[in-house]
Amino acid sequence: MKRVVSGIKPSGELTIGNYLGAMKGWAENQHKEGYENFFFIANLHAITVRQDPEQLHKRTVDIVAWLITSGVDPNRSVIFVQSMIPAHSEICWILNNYVTMGELGKMTQYKDKSSKGGKDGQIVGLFDYPVLMAGDVLLYDADEIPVGVDQVQHVELARTIAQRFNNLHGETFKVPKATLSANTSKIMSLNDPLKKMSKSESVESYVAMDDDYDVIIRKFKRAVTDSENLIKRSDDKPALSNLLSIYSGFSGKSIEEIENDYSGQGYGKFKSDLGELVAGALRDWQTRFSEIRNNDERLDNVIREGNAKAETLANEKLRIVKDKLGLH
Ligand code: AQP
């Protein structure tokens, strides 16, 4: 049996980048034979950037409801909340001693995020983020970590930490590998195709899972495009290539099929169809989301049961690690 572990931060409204790069693949993965899946809400990661406490809690529960809406079935997958399992914080402290400042300083996410806030942005938690993430997956002996391209560097570091610990203390952690969703592993911003679409960037740069129909249509109409008015993917047309990936992710069609469908047609028609495709899909999901989100009792149960299953495994691994280090 292979174990899949992945998380998502409640640091803003979920975007179609989160959906296409992560949640969609998580839901699909549940139907593969021989896999068990653990998905968590990474709220300890979210506080590496200032959050409003009420919003943070609300978004944590929202994401559980969005996971269920997008097809993650709590009867097939374990859904849990990171902060409710103290082993995550504890393993992070232990693993801090198996990584160097130099290794952490190379992480692109840290460089990007810390540079935005000047000196005040250089939060230790942000610097240490990859170590907490290593703990998140190593605690569960994860085999595969389905992530977007942006997180691959962190999974590589988790592998290094696991191998280093194993070399020093004997086989303890499984060494996990990152898995990527084809075409959609990096969805780019709608107003700057060289930047990742992110939930903490300006609202015009992303489509949120709960954006209104008309807003979505407008955002795609305004999305930047490249010079030549031809629907053909290429490296020198990053804006169009990104819109093609989104179209492919929502329609299930290959990029080639879409290019054929639009041969001889310009950006205007393509962007308006894309808007309708995404807005139509999200409108249906938003209705389902509201029903799921309004059932507090069910959501509480999903979280309680998920936490209990995850905590049993996490505590067992933490006990093994602490025994090896003489921390008992
Ligand atoms: N634009 C994206 N394209 C593909 N995958 C993406 N993911 C995020 N954005 C894209 C994937 O979604 C999963 C959960 O991400 P996260 O919320 O834990 O962290 P993140 O990558 O930092 O996401 P954001 O939206 O950019 O959040 P902020 O703005 O708060 O930093 C991951 O698997 C991620 O790869």
Catalytic annotation present for 221: no
- Residue 22 Cβ contacting ligand 1 at under 6 Å: yes
Q: What are the structural domain ranges in the chain?
A: 2-185+295-325, 210-291
**Which among 150, 185, 203 is the best mutation to test ligand 1's pocket, defined by most ligand atoms within 8 Å of the CB?**
150
Catalytic annotation present for 196: yes
Sequence-distant (6+) residues with CB within 8 A of 25 are 146, 179, 181
How far away, in angstroms, is 279 Cα from ligand 1 center? 21
Q: Which atom of ligand 1 is nearest to the CA of 149?
A: 35
Extract the runs of DSSP E, i.e. beta strands, from the chain. 2-8, 35-41, 77-81, 144-146, 177-179
Please name which of 140, 145, 137 lies closest in space to residue 26, comparing C-alpha atoms.
145
Confidence category of residue 183, pLDDT binned at 50, 70, 90: low
CA angle 65, 70, 72 (to 5 degrees): 80
Mean pLDDT of 273-300: 98
Q: Which CATH number fits domain 2-185+295-325: 3.40.50.2300, 2.40.50.140, 3.30.365.10, 3.40.50.620?
A: 3.40.50.620
Confidence category of residue 93, pLDDT binned at 50, 70, 90: very high
pLDDT value for 142:
97
For 165-198, letters b (16+ CB in 10 Å) and e give beeeeeebbbbbebbbbebbbbbbbbbebeebbb
247: left (phi over 0), alpha (psi -120 to 50) or beta: alpha
pLDDT value for 115:
83
Mean pLDDT of 301-308: 98
Our measurement of the distance from residue 158's CA atom to the centroid of its chain's CA atoms, rounded to an integer in Å, reads 16
Please name which of 15, 10, 6 lies closest in space to residue 195, comparing C-alpha atoms.
15
Q: Name the catalytic one among 24, 186, 196, 219.
A: 196
210-291, which class in CATH?
mainly alpha
For the stretch 199-221, pLDDT in tens is 889 999 999 999 999 999 999 99
Q: Whole-angstrom Cα distance, residue 187 to residue 137?
A: 24
- Residue 11 Cβ contacting ligand 1 at under 6 Å: yes
Extract the runs of DSSP E, i.e. beta strands, from 42-99. 77-81
Q: Answer yes or no: are the C-beta atoms of 307 and 87 closer than 8 Å.
A: no
Q: Whole-angstrom Cα distance, residue 179 to residue 149?
A: 9
Q: Whole-angstrom Cα distance, residue 150 to residue 69?
A: 24
Report residue 56 as tokens.
Answer: 């943070």
Mean model confidence pLDDT for the chain? 95
In degrees and rounded to multiples of 5, residue 177 shows phi and psi of -130, 150
- Residue 15 Cβ contacting ligand 1 at under 6 Å: yes
Q: Whole-angstrom Cα distance, residue 44 to residue 250?
A: 30
pLDDT value for 157:
98
Q: Whole-angstrom Cα distance, residue 135 to residue 141?
A: 10
- Residue 107 Cβ contacting ligand 1 at under 6 Å: no
pTM for this structure? 0.94
Q: Answer yes or no: are the C-beta atoms of 90 and 96 closer than 8 Å.
A: no
Confidence category of residue 20, pLDDT binned at 50, 70, 90: very high
